[in-house]
Each structure stands twice: as structure tokens, then as C-alpha cells.
A and B are shown apart, each in its own frame.
Chain A
Amino acid sequence: MTAPATRRGFSAEAVAELVRRRDEPDWMRQRRLDAWQTYERLPMPTRQDEEWRRTDLRDLKLDEVAPFADGHNGRTPRGTLLPEAERHEQLGGFLGLRDGHPVEHRLDDALRAKGVIFTDLATAVREHGDLVREHFMTRVVPAGDSKFAALHGAFWDNGTFLYVPKGVAVELPFRAVVAAGHQGSASMAHTLIVLDEQAQATFAEDFTSPEGTAGGFSSRVTEIILGQEANLRYVGVQRWGKTVHDFHTERALLGRDATVVLETVELGSALSKGRVEAVFAGDGGNAKILGLYIEDGRQHLDRYTLQDHRAANCTSDLLFKGVLTDKARSVFSGLIRVAPNARKTAAYQQNRNLLLSRAARADSIPNLEIGCNDILGCTHGATVGKVDEEQLFYLMCRGLTRSDATHLIVEGFVDPLVAAVPIAGLRDALRSEIQRRVSAQDIQ
């Protein structure tokens, strides 16, 4: 058990103490203090704000959260954080973080020789300061982006930094596991990925904490910067314990002709509120944004997505699918925004929700803001429904029980998103995990 932190609540004193404890250059210290100022200036969102209408923050007690762990407890964890199903995989690099401390790290020597940087962010701040300083919470997710982004800017603990230099195409995937104790304390993980021109990489990360009775607080920010013709495949899997309040901002900034596949899989937390956004800063970009969420009990998931077409000839394709049961609740609101100069935009958005119980509820709100007439197409679709009776009938005709037939249909529903995960071991593990979770449900 980690020793309980003595300080509770986020405050100017807490930032000052954090700044004192950490061995960081002055520019980062100042950034934290500035972010705290921003946090104090911005109002806490209320139910009157459109983006927060359907998510109740009343049970979030920020005053009771320990803003940072009281130092590494010195325990050496047994075994690796890399899940068993993936240990045979060939990886370009692996990073394991436990409560903000890097406990495992390896990077392929050949990649290091080519100038690839893959390390924990705290180390990167010290050893690759110029790069981090240029990209960390500057253009993509600045502290002023939201109240929770500002809090993150002040209190972020660690995370992953991946940099791939110009022209380097990395075939082997990078993997990270961020593990948090979450017994009443905050986890503020920051992922910063910078791909230079024509760079290519694949990266998958897990956020995981044990089930516990004390609440936990997580603030995650994922910043992705893609240079001209760069190509990234990203997967983020959230497996926080079911008492954690999770706030997440994920944004990718695409340069000219850049390509990204962004996938998020949300399985845990009591409440997870986040934004997933792709911003096209240059012509010819291509973004595929995939999301899968499985919610049961009283879990609440809220996602606002944005496909921001600020340039011409870009394509974006978003698919979010959810499976909800018990009294779970999801809110999805997706916006496709097309600027007046974004000619030949092709943008698609779909949100599909499967409800497996009477009390589950999904809200799906697609939006379009189209400022240009000369586009190829902008479509959106939203569905919320139960398992199709006709499909069940045909499966039962072939000898399956109603229960087995239902489980099979649900697996078929989620499978296209699981199949899109680029690492075989992770893909198989997710498939099993989802199968187990769905089989355990008593579907009404």
C-alpha cells in the first residue's frame, strides 16, 4: 500500500510544493505556476454550459484529492507492467510508469541511433528540453484550453514522450503502461507525440489502476503533432478502477498530407469526460478517429469530438461505438467543423450505441458547422438501440440459446473496432476482456 499523501486539495501552496520537489528547468516551473493562475481565473463548468449539461460534477470532491503522491514508496514491483498476452511481441520500445515513476524503460538501439526519442516525459524535460519546451502545451492543448487542462498544466506528473525525426519510419510499435494506485490521489499523465516530416510510428498505451474503494482522480492530456506527410497509429486504452473520475483531452494537429489513426477504448472509471479532436492545419490530411466504450453499473462516459477542417482536401472519418448495460450512461456529441477555405472536405461521423438493459441510456448528438460550399461530403449518423430481435431469431433458429445469440451479436458489434488495434497481442487481449465482460452481463 502506498503511504497516504498528507496534502489534500489543489492550491497555490500545493503547486509551490510540487515545483520545489521536482528537478525541473525554470521554464517548466514557470509554466506550472502560470497554468495555476489560469486555473484560478477560469470558472468551474456548470450544468448551464452546453458541454457539461449532461454530466453531473457534484460528486467530484476536488478538495479531497491528494494532488500528488508523497514520493515513491521504494517498493520494487515484481514483474513487468507489460501484459502477458503481449510479451512475445516485438516492440520498438516499452515504457512502464507506476504512480508517475518510470519503472521500466527500453528502446531499440537501432532506433535510438536514428534519433528516435522514446522516454518518460519527466526525463525528456531534462534531457530533451528544447523539443519538449517547443511542443508541450503550446499549440495543441494549451493550459487555457479548459479548467481541467489548466489544472493538468500545473500538476501533471509524468507520461510518455515520443519523437520521431524526419524521414524515419518505425515499423515496430511503441508501448506504454501508465499504472496508478489511485487511492484518493491524482494521476495526471501527459502524452506528447511529435512526428517530424515523413516520420511514421505506432504507439499504444494503457491507463490502469486497481479496483479500490477510495475515489481517484485522473487528468490526462494527449498531444499529437504531425509534420508534413507524417503517419501515426495511436491507441489509448483506459482501464481505471470504477471509482475514478477521469478527465481527458486528446488532440492531434495534422500538417500537410499527414495521416493519423486515433483509437480510444474506454472500459473503466466511474465518470470519464473527455474531448477527442483532430485539427487539420494543412491540406491533404487524413484522420480516422475510432472510439469504443463499454459501460456497466453506474458508469458515465461523456465524449465531445471535433473534426476541425481548417484546410482543403482533407478527409476525416469518425466511428464511436458503445455498449451499455445496467444503469450506465453515455453522452456523445460530435462536431464536424468546416472552415470557408476547406474545399473538397470529406468528413464522416457515426455514433452507434447498443443498450443491453432498460435503465441504460445513451445520448448521441451529432453537429455540423459547414462554412464552405465546395465540399465532397459531410455526413453524420447516430443510433441508439437494443439488440435486433430478428437477428436473434435467426441465430436461435440455428440452435443457439437467446443468451449466446445476444452475446455473439454484441461481440460482432464491437469487433470492427477491436480489429483496428495494430498490435496483435493487445488486440487479442482486448477481445477476450470484452468477451468476458459482456458474457458476465445478464442481458435483458
Chain B
Amino acid sequence: MAVVTVGREEDVAPGQALRVVVKGEPIAIFNAQGELYAIGDTCTHEEFSLSDGELVDDHTVECALHGAQFDIRSGAALSLPATLPTPTYPVWVEDGELKIEVEE
């Protein structure tokens, strides 16, 4: 496992999402009421960017292309047209920097 710095705490404001690419993997970081969650950025239905989607409640992101919903805590697909989950990544702030843990 590797820890990568992907930005600063202020890069992702409450209610917003930040798309980063770590080791070739696009990852979406969401700030849901101050809590940070990181999931795979790619919608498992048709590969749209989830960071371009919308947080429809505290822990659900909706893909802007076809409305597939995912739980940003577990990565689970909550609605059609998505059926496969998206991966999750540990994310936290350390000394003002955004850190993500990914596989080597």
C-alpha cells in the first residue's frame, strides 16, 4: 500500500468533489459536510466521471450521465443503471494536505 499526497485540504470544499489521478487510477474525493470520502471516479455503468456528478444527500453521489447512484462510503451501487460497485480508498488530511492510500 502506498500513501500519496493529492492536494490540499481546501481543494475540496463541503458539498464539492475533487478528481485526482493516482497511479493511473482516477479517484473522486467528496467532502460531505466536512467528512472526506474517496471512491473510484469512474461510474461503473458508462464510465462517466463521478466527480462531475452531484451529492444528492449526505452520502450519495449521482452520476450526471444516467443518474446511477453510489454510496460514497462503501462504493456500493445504489441504483440502476449501475450494478457494480466502485472501489473505495482511505482518505484523510495531514498537516493540511490531502492524503490517499492506494495499492502499489
B46 neighbours in A (Cβ, 8 Å): 54
B residues contacting the other copy or chain, number (CB 8 A): 6
Nearest CB on A from B28, distance (A)? 13
Instruction: Give the residue of B21, B24, B47, B49 whose beta carbon is less than 8 angstroms from that of A54.
Output: B47
Chain B CB within 8 A of A171 CB: no
**Residue of A whose beta carbon sits closest to that of B25:** A298
Main secondary structure of the interface of A (DSSP, over half): loop
A298 neighbours in B (Cβ, 8 Å): 24
Q: Bound complex: CA of A255 vs CA of B8, how far in Å? A: 61
Chain B CB within 8 A of A84 CB: no
Tell me the number of A-to-B contacts counted with CB atoms below 8 Å.
8
**Residue of B whose beta carbon sits closest to that of A47:** B48
Q: Which residues 392-415 of A sit at the B interface, judged by CB distance below 8 A?
A: none
Nearest CB on B from A50, distance (A)? 13
**Residue of B whose beta carbon sits closest to that of A358:** B84
**Residue of B whose beta carbon sits closest to that of A329:** B47
Q: Bound complex: CA of A362 vs CA of B6, how far in Å? A: 31
Contact A59 B21 (CB under 8 A): yes
A329 neighbours in B (Cβ, 8 Å): 47
B24 neighbours in A (Cβ, 8 Å): 298
Q: Bound complex: CA of A91 vs CA of B21, how far in Å? A: 47
**Residue of B whose beta carbon sits closest to that of A298:** B24
**Residue of B whose beta carbon sits closest to that of A54:** B47
Q: Bound complex: CA of A298 vs CA of B47, how far in Å? A: 14
B49 neighbours in A (Cβ, 8 Å): 56
Q: Which residues 51-94 of A sit at the B interface, judged by CB distance below 8 A?
A: 54, 56, 59
Chain A 287-312 interface mask (CB, 8 Å, partner B; 1/0) = 00000000000100000000000000
Chain B 44-58 interface mask (CB, 8 Å, partner A; 1/0) = 001111000000000
Q: Bound complex: CA of A56 vs CA of B48, how far in Å? A: 9
Please name 4 further chain A to chain B contacts, defined as beta carbons within 8 Å, in addition to the given A56-B47, A59-B21, A298-B24, sorted by A numbering.
Answer: A47-B48, A54-B46, A54-B47, A56-B49
A sample of 8 cross-chain residue pairs with beta-carbon separation below 8 angstroms, ordered by A number, consists of A47-B48, A54-B46, A54-B47, A56-B47, A56-B49, A59-B21, A298-B24, A329-B47
